[in-house]
Amino acid sequence: LLVIACPGALVIATPVSFVAGIGNAAKKGILFKGGESIEALSKAKVLFLDKTGTLTKGKPELQEILTFNGTDLENLRLAAIGESYSEHPLSKAIIEGASSKGLLVEEKPTTSEFSIGKGITFVYNRSRYYLGNQKIIPFGLDKEIEESIEKLESKGMTVLIFADEMRILSLFGVRDALRSNVKELLSKLKKTGITKTVMLTGDRLTVATSVAKEAGVDEVYASLLPEDKMNIIHQYKENNYNTVFVGDGINDSPSLKQADIGIALNSGADIAKDAGDIVLVGNDLRMVKGALE
């Protein structure tokens, strides 16, 4: 006896449910790139977050300049020239800081080289300059410089070191405010199945700890290069944790791919949005909760 059944309604239920879910989320500004994203996100346990532009507003402001050689205004003008090709939020802070002080920066560097997670090296008027964190500077820092950096970082500022080939010229203290209601949001995410929140950042530990405490993040890793972020996520995956990474920058694209689910903010770099499984159109971190729900 051969019995054949074709339960069409049952078979079609799953794809119809996924399409309905994707459509409903899209109306709220949450773009799922496929049904697999919904299914994988529902199993998420550990949420990784980038700091700059994700936990923070992504609009850092230049708040303090400490100059050791040259003058504040001349060094700021040179730094703004060097940053003229960059779209990084910290670069914009330098450029806008120069503009606010009446410095017209229309010139461009002769050459400009970006080192992801470190900063930039550029040539202007036949002189080579370095701007970024300590990893970009080709020589060691003396005690006075280190103490000055620690002083700025204790105020919650990210420090950009500006130097030529021989000496430190200035330190630029940049601060980026947290997004509103971040602490409340991360607390609510625990009710959607997330068991741990982790911040991954290239900033030094002093700054990272200050921001993590204010945001209510469970764990923080600092002074990371993009590959370091990937390795941390990979370690969690090897321990059978389902992972989600939320980011917005070029630096974040490898981590967006490494995590089980990558969530990109629409305000971020195009490469990050391409790497993410989900894009938050409204650039609102609270949409992460909506996506999980």
Catalytic residues: 50
Beta strands 168-175 and 61-67 are antiparallel
What's the length of the chain? 293
Query: How many CA atoms lie less than 13 Å away from 42 in the CB half-sphere?
Result: 7
The token pair that represents 170 in the structure block: 């200035």
SS3 of 144-191: HHHHHHHHHHCCCCEEEEEEECCCEEEEEEEECCECCCHHHHHHHHHH
* Cα–chain center distance at 14: 35
3-state secondary structure of 285: coil
Phi, psi of 181 (to 5 degrees): 60, 25
* Cα–chain center distance at 97: 21
Answer yes or no: are the C-beta atoms of 245 and 263 closer than 8 Å.
Answer: yes
